[in-house]
Amino acid sequence: MHSRYIPLLASAALAAGAAGAATSPKALVIMLDGCRADAIENARMENLQALRDGKWQPGYKCAWSLSANTIPDAVASSAPNHTSIATGVTAAKTHVESNGQFRRCDYRKWPSWLVRLVSTRPGAKALFLFSWKPDCELSPDPRVEFVHGSDAAAADTAVKRLSAPDAPDGTLYFIDLPDHGGHGSGFYPYSTGYLNALWQADAAVGRVLAAIASRPTFAAEDWLIVVTADHGGYGRSHGMPGGQATTVPLLVAGRRVRQGRIPGTPHNYDAAPTALAHFGIDVSGMDLDGRPAGAETASPPARSLSDGLAAYLPFDGKKSANAVSGDVSPRPFGAAASGVPAGFIGGSLRIGGPKAKGPSGVRLAGSEKLSFENGGDFAFAAWVRMDAPQKGDPVVLSNKDWNSGRNPGVALIAAKKAYTAKVPGVCFNAGTEGGRFDLGTYDVAYGEWVFYAVTRGADGAVRFYQGGRDGYLYCMSENAAKPALSTGLPFCLGQDGTGAYKSNFAGAIDEAALWTRELGHGEVRRIYEAGRGGVPLSALIAR
Ligand SMILES: [Zn+2]
């Protein structure tokens, strides 16, 4: 029996809104220009972290990825990615392959999601706020309100418009601050200018989110908040392949979203179809490259760090290695080192470099027989000290024949100069079924202990971490759906899987560990933070 008692109907509508019925869908897509995914935690972007953790407003959850990628078919620069974030298709369709090419896109065929919204929902209001002036050429349409101004003015406008009773249904909000900070003084390693710009961008996001939550009608509304970036950066630039510029965040927060990590490698151009799907608009016939995100999450389950731990080498005993679990036993190449050289925590493994006679390092005998979860999940973590510039492209860790990067297996490569890097750094190489892929490069400071971790998950993503004693944990990621991890060769420290590579690593390794499973982001950070505080992995392992 239907009640005609108006207040009851009103409260029923409120309850329905809180329960997730699409009473009044609204979407806000925020693009943080030049925001590296790893900066969200390291730059203390508290508003974005709260959004990611599902703590924005009661009933709101967040599907997130800190290893989303930029578009694969154009350089990691602004215009190509702005166009793709707005339209949901990549450069093969937009033809926007570098800055200055916004007009190359046929927006009648590939309009922005704002234009698609006002086309399919007559009467809907759409707003595009931006501070980088060339964006005025991005899918112009008289039904979409374009507002250009400084980042400060855009934030004020966003607060004013999104708290108003007649707030736009769809809003695209581009914040330029991080890019400005990165170009000015460095995206990686972070500069204070970049961190400050990120913090300011986060503060602007916080103001806008607070304005939305303060709406008198908020409880009856169904908001979707999407946050992503057009690119990250390395040094003072971006546009290079290999992770530093191509790894970006993707946060999707809403009432009907699942909390947790988005599986696989999502992309920044998933933003457009995600926003459209929020309005109940069927995107399946639009030939978009992006896919709606938020309905699926697959966070790795919480496990003990001893689960899947195949080898742990703290190098604190009288031998060069000790305390290895299970089926793997460490065998030094050549004569065993005498004594225990001072390490990061306790002793360490010292590796001879070019002066050593014959191969130097440790072979993890038996690791060639390990069975890796999901056919290729693994994780490696260690503290590494490079003592000098390396000679001959040596490896820190590898289970492959490093004479070719296309060979199956993986390699953590010491001091390789890659892409636009001005100095040699640490890279990651993996052979795949179709060839190879490389993530890099991370800068090296000679004589300093630096944390590295690399892990591949069942979602097909490889995540490659670096962390110094300053507390900044960097991460870049790339999809590796078809890894070729097993090689029949053992993992070796300081040498490749053959143990006969022509060049030895020059430096020291400590607290090295190998798992036959993925390490989640939280687990990597836990190991890193403990090590930074002088706490060995052994103290974290539940017994
Ligand atoms: Zn940009």
Q: Are 96 and 238 in a shared domain? A: yes
Say how far apart CA 328 and CA 218 lie, in whole Å. 57
Q: What is the pLDDT of residue 318?
A: 58
- Most confident stretch, 177-191, 233-247, 302-316: 177-191
DSSP at 424: -
What is the Å distance from ligand 1's center to 126 Cα? 23
Q: Give yes or no for residue 237 having a pLDDT over 60.
A: yes
Burial class (CB in 10 A: 0-12, 13-18, 19+), 540: middle
What is the Å distance from ligand 1's center to 178 Cα? 9
Q: Give residue 426's pLDDT band: very low, low, confident or very high (50, 70, 90).
A: very high
What is the Å distance from ligand 1's center to 452 Cα? 28
DSSP at 76: S
Q: Give yes or no for residue 403 having a pLDDT over 90.
A: yes
Is residue 293 a part of any domain in this protein? Answer: no
What is the Å distance from ligand 1's center to 5 Cα? 53
What is the Å distance from ligand 1's center to 508 Cα? 38
Q: Give residue 48's pLDDT band: very low, low, confident or very high (50, 70, 90).
A: very high
Q: Are 261 and 401 in a shared domain? A: no
Q: Are 412 and 263 in a shared domain? A: no
Q: Give residue 372's pLDDT band: very low, low, confident or very high (50, 70, 90).
A: very high
pLDDT tens digits for 391-401?
888 999 999 99
Q: Are 325 and 471 in a shared domain? A: yes
Q: Are 324 and 238 in a shared domain? A: no
pLDDT tens digits for 503-539?
889 899 999 999 999 999 999 999 999 999 999 999 9
Q: Are 249 and 313 in a shared domain? A: no
Cα distances from 51 to residues 187, 205, 256, in angstroms, run 23, 10, 14
Q: Is 398 helix (H, G, I), strand (E, B) or coil?
A: strand
Residue with tokens 């016939």: 285
What is the Å distance from ligand 1's center to 247 Cα? 13
Which of 9-13, 77-81, 363-367, 485-489 bottoms out in mean pLDDT, i.e. has the lowest? 9-13
Q: Are 86 and 218 in a shared domain? A: yes
Beta-bridged to residue 129, according to DSSP, are: 147, 173
DSSP per-residue letters across 190-205: TPHHHHHHHHHHHHHH
What is the Å distance from ligand 1's center to 19 Cα? 37
What is the Å distance from ligand 1's center to 65 Cα? 19
pLDDT tens digits for 345-361?
988 888 887 777 778 88
What is the Å distance from ligand 1's center to 180 Cα? 9
What is the Å distance from ligand 1's center to 175 Cα? 10
Crossing angle for the helix pair 177-185 and 192-213, nearest 10 degrees? 170
Is residue 482 a part of any domain in this protein? Answer: yes
Number of domain units in the chain:
2
Say how far apart CA 507 and CA 504 lie, in whole Å. 9
What is the Å distance from ligand 1's center to 61 Cα? 28
What is the Å distance from ligand 1's center to 304 Cα? 40
What is the Å distance from ligand 1's center to 276 Cα? 23
Pair of tokens at residue 310: 């195949």
- Give the H or E element holding residue 126: strand 126-130
Return the CATH number at 146: 3.40.720.10
Pair of tokens at residue 398: 């590898």
Q: Give yes or no for residue 321 having a pLDDT over 60.
A: no
Q: Give yes or no for residue 335 having a pLDDT over 90.
A: no
Among candidate residues 227, 262, 278, the one where a domain is terminated: 278
Q: Are 423 and 514 in a shared domain? A: yes
What is the Å distance from ligand 1's center to 475 Cα? 19
What is the Å distance from ligand 1's center to 513 Cα? 37
**Contact between residue 124 and residue 280 where contact means Cβ atoms under 8 Å apart:** no
Q: What is the pLDDT of residue 16?
A: 40
Return the CATH number at 322: 2.60.120.200
What is the Å distance from ligand 1's center to 206 Cα? 21
What is the Å distance from ligand 1's center to 278 Cα? 26
Q: What is the pLDDT of residue 112?
A: 98
Pair of tokens at residue 536: 């060995």
Say how far apart CA 252 and CA 290 lie, in whole Å. 14
Q: Give yes or no for residue 7 having a pLDDT over 80.
A: no
Among candidate residues 228, 262, 278, the one where a domain is terminated: 278
Is residue 10 a part of any domain in this protein? Answer: no
What is the Å distance from ligand 1's center to 225 Cα? 20
What is the Å distance from ligand 1's center to 78 Cα? 4
What is the Å distance from ligand 1's center to 348 Cα? 42
Q: Give yes or no for residue 12 having a pLDDT over 80.
A: no
Is residue 20 a part of any domain in this protein? Answer: no
What is the Å distance from ligand 1's center to 436 Cα? 28
Q: Give residue 140's pLDDT band: very low, low, confident or very high (50, 70, 90).
A: very high
Q: Is 161 helix (H, G, I), strand (E, B) or coil?
A: helix
Cα distances from 540 to residues 111, 307, 381, 462, in angstroms, run 51, 12, 14, 24
Beta-bridged to residue 172, according to DSSP, are: 29, 128
Q: Give yes or no for residue 51 having a pLDDT over 70.
A: yes
What is the Å distance from ligand 1's center to 74 Cα? 13
Q: Are 259 and 378 in a shared domain? A: no
Mean pLDDT of the chain: 90
Q: Is 490 helix (H, G, I), strand (E, B) or coil?
A: coil
What is the Å distance from ligand 1's center to 352 Cα? 43
Q: Give yes or no for residue 320 having a pLDDT over 80.
A: no
Cα distances from 370 to residues 33, 311, 361, 454, in angstroms, run 43, 11, 20, 17
Q: Are 317 and 230 in a shared domain? A: no
What is the Å distance from ligand 1's center to 518 Cα? 32
**Contact between residue 465 and residue 532 where contact means Cβ atoms under 8 Å apart:** no
Radius of gyration of the chain (CA): 25
What is the Å distance from ligand 1's center to 227 Cα? 14
Q: Are 410 and 274 in a shared domain? A: no
What is the Å distance from ligand 1's center to 34 Cα? 5
Is residue 19 a part of any domain in this protein? Answer: no
Is residue 284 a part of any domain in this protein? Answer: no
What is the Å distance from ligand 1's center to 81 Cα? 8
What is the Å distance from ligand 1's center to 386 Cα? 33
Beta-bridged to residue 484, according to DSSP, are: none
- Give the H or E element holding residue 456: strand 449-456
pLDDT tens digits for 241-281?
889 999 999 999 999 999 999 998 999 999 999 999 999 99
Is residue 387 a part of any domain in this protein? Answer: yes
Is residue 283 a part of any domain in this protein? Answer: no
What is the Å distance from ligand 1's center to 77 Cα? 5
What is the Å distance from ligand 1's center to 179 Cα? 6
**Contact between residue 480 and residue 428 where contact means Cβ atoms under 8 Å apart:** no
Burial class (CB in 10 A: 0-12, 13-18, 19+), 539: exposed
* Domain span including residue 424: 309-539
Q: What is the pLDDT of residue 472?
A: 97
pLDDT tens digits for 170-209?
999 999 999 999 999 999 999 999 999 999 999 999 999 9
Q: Are 319 and 254 in a shared domain? A: no
Q: Give yes or no for residue 466 having a pLDDT over 70.
A: yes
Quote the percentage of the chain above a pLDDT of 90. 74
What is the Å distance from ligand 1's center to 35 Cα? 9
What is the Å distance from ligand 1's center to 7 Cα? 49
What is the Å distance from ligand 1's center to 198 Cα? 13
DSSP per-residue letters across 474-518: EEEEEE-SSB----SS--EESS-TTS--S---EEEEEEEEEESSP
- Backbone CA torsion sign across 104, 153, 65, 20: negative
What is the Å distance from ligand 1's center to 37 Cα? 14
